[in-house]
Amino acid sequence: MAFLPELILLGGALALFFLCLGDDRVEERARRARLAAIAVAVAFIGSSLGSLGQDAFLFHGAYRVDAFSQWLKLAFAIGDLLILLLSGDLPDVRDDVKPEYYLLLTLSVTGLTLLVSCLDLVTLVIAFELSSFPLYFLVPMRRERAGQRVQMESAIKYVMFGILSTGVMLFGMSYLFGLTGTTSLPSLMTKLEPVSQSPVAIVGLGMMFAGFFYKLAVFPLHFWTPDVYQGASNETAGLIASLPKVGAVAVLARFVTTAPPGSQTLAVLLTCLAAASMFYGNLVALLQKDLKRLLAFSSIAHAGYALVGFVALDNAGATAALYYIVSYMFMVMACFVVVCRVSRDGANVALDDLAGLHRRSPLLAVTLLVGVFGLAGLPPFAGFMGKLTLLKAALAKGHLALVVIAVINTAIAIYYYLAIVREAGFREAEDRPAVVLDGSTRALCVLLIVGVLVLGLAPNPVLNAISASLLNLGLPVPATALAW
């Protein structure tokens, strides 16, 4: 039972692999693969709910099943199903690779699911790469258009920056292993405390975090973000914008909650990165006309907001960061539902294309407004409560300057979010056609609206569950778990 969600994903990925090898027509294989992927996602949700109370150490103490990992697996399971509903029939993905698309999506979710339970640097890297490599392949699967091969350029940039960040991360881990003599995360952080102010430890930590900052699109490891969002298909961009962010924040939570409370070096590093990410993302987003590029630069800013919680280096800050990034997953998916359905034949969507959306599709307009108002941090949506908990945690530890910077950036962001609202809610449609929604899209819109509202209006159950799950993260691995 402790490993049941992972077993279902691995078994589902194997089944999808065989479905991709069939002799039937590609359209039939794609249809069966999508149904199988949805079935796996539903089973993943059920198994995650059933294993919430499990607690176990597996694989020689390198893998921990606890409340922290199980709640996050439930979030990934819900996100997996939402992405599959968002994808529809993949209008902008080449027909010959649609079956493989669902296989790679399931493999990436499997990597993220493994990532949140890893207690060893070696297993952490393996899970990290398993979640990343399928995404590298999903980006160039976009259908080619006349005179346009931007998806190939985006894929190359994504892979190159990914290889660079992974190499830097591994080099940093080698420094930490040299200092501590262990790859076990709880032992490593304990042994690192006496030498945490040494240059080698600081460089090692900074380089190791580079891989997670790359996933989260934190400045200065953000360069891939706008090009990949713009070059990937709308459905793939929606995936990249949501689930990997949750995985990166979860891994950072494991590191930060096991770090010494007085680690000023780590606090200063996170403060500088948070401020730079917020200012860069929000200021450049002001100039964007392509909706996906705007959301890309917005994601850089939101990565900075998430780091504000980690600056506190305590349970409250990590709780706020995790709550915020889970809320962000729902809010950004709400925006990408609109991108996917407003898009004509899978093409990118400019801000002008949203004109008159309140008349062309009222449900899509409401979904977009809920997502945008949430990202802007307006009450009563999840983004408001998320930012409030982040700022409260940082202020409690005396980081007043960072709180002021975050508030200023929230005000800057409201300007370009309101530009989206103006297009969708106040401009006339002119000759733009109505947007017809199928049943699954209507259900997806309702689920996302309810999710953003519930997280904003009733945050305490989620916050309490996350906070309680974080309490045991810093405990050492028991000797019985280390015995083969």
Stretch 334-358: mean pLDDT, rounded?
A: 85
Model pLDDT, residue 478: 54
CA-nearest of 212, 229, 211 to 296 is: 229
Q: What is the pLDDT of residues 220-234, one digit of tens each?
A: 878 888 888 888 888
pLDDT at position 76 is 92
Q: What is the pLDDT of residue 7?
A: 93
pTM: predicted TM-score of the whole model, two decimal places: 0.90
Q: Give pLDDT tens digits for 302-330.
A: 999 999 888 887 888 888 999 999 999 99
- Which sequence spans correspond to the domains of the chain? 4-482
What average pLDDT does the segment 33-37 reach? 91
Q: What one-character DSSP code corresponds to residue 56?
A: E
Burial status of residue 478 (CB atoms within 10 A of its CB: 0-12, 13-18, 19 or more): exposed
Of the candidates 267, 264, 261, 270, the residue with the CA atom closest to the CA atom of residue 315? 261
Taking a C-beta distance cutoff of 8 angstroms, is the pair 382, 327 a contact? yes
Of 418, 369, 410, 420, which is closest to residue 387 (Cα–Cα)? 410
The pLDDT of residue 483 is 47
Torsion angle (degrees, nearest 10) of CA 320, 325, 331, 334: -160
pLDDT at 152: 83
Nearest to 231 by CA among 163, 155, 129, 294: 155
CA neighbours within 13 Å on the CB side: how many for 147? 0
| pLDDT on residue 360 | 86
pLDDT at 450 over 90: yes
| Residue 363: both structure tokens together | 């449900």
The full 3-state SS of 137-167, as one line of letters, equals HHHHHECCECCECHHHHHHHHHHHHHHHHHH
Distances from the Cα of 262 to the Cα of 179, 204, 249, angstroms = 20, 18, 21
Does residue 22 carry a pLDDT above 60? Answer: yes
Under 8 Å between Cβ of 86 and 112? no
Report how far residue 390's alpha carbon sits from residue 312's, in angstroms, rounded to the nearest whole number. 9
What's the pLDDT at 98?
Answer: 87
Q: How far apart are alpha carbons 328 and 324 in whole angstroms?
A: 6
What CA–CA distances, in Å, run from 245 to 172, 215, 239, 250?
21, 6, 10, 9
The percent of residues above 90 in pLDDT, for the chain, comes to 29
Cα–Cα distance measured from residue 142 to residue 230, given in angstroms and rounded to the nearest whole number = 11
CA dist 335 and 122 (Å) reads: 36
**Would you say residue 262 has pLDDT above 70?**
no
Query: What is the model's pLDDT at position 280?
Result: 92
Q: What is the mean pLDDT of the chain?
A: 86
Query: How far is the C-alpha of 480 from the C-alpha of 475, rounded, in Å?
Result: 14
Give Dmax over CA atoms of the chain in angstroms. 70
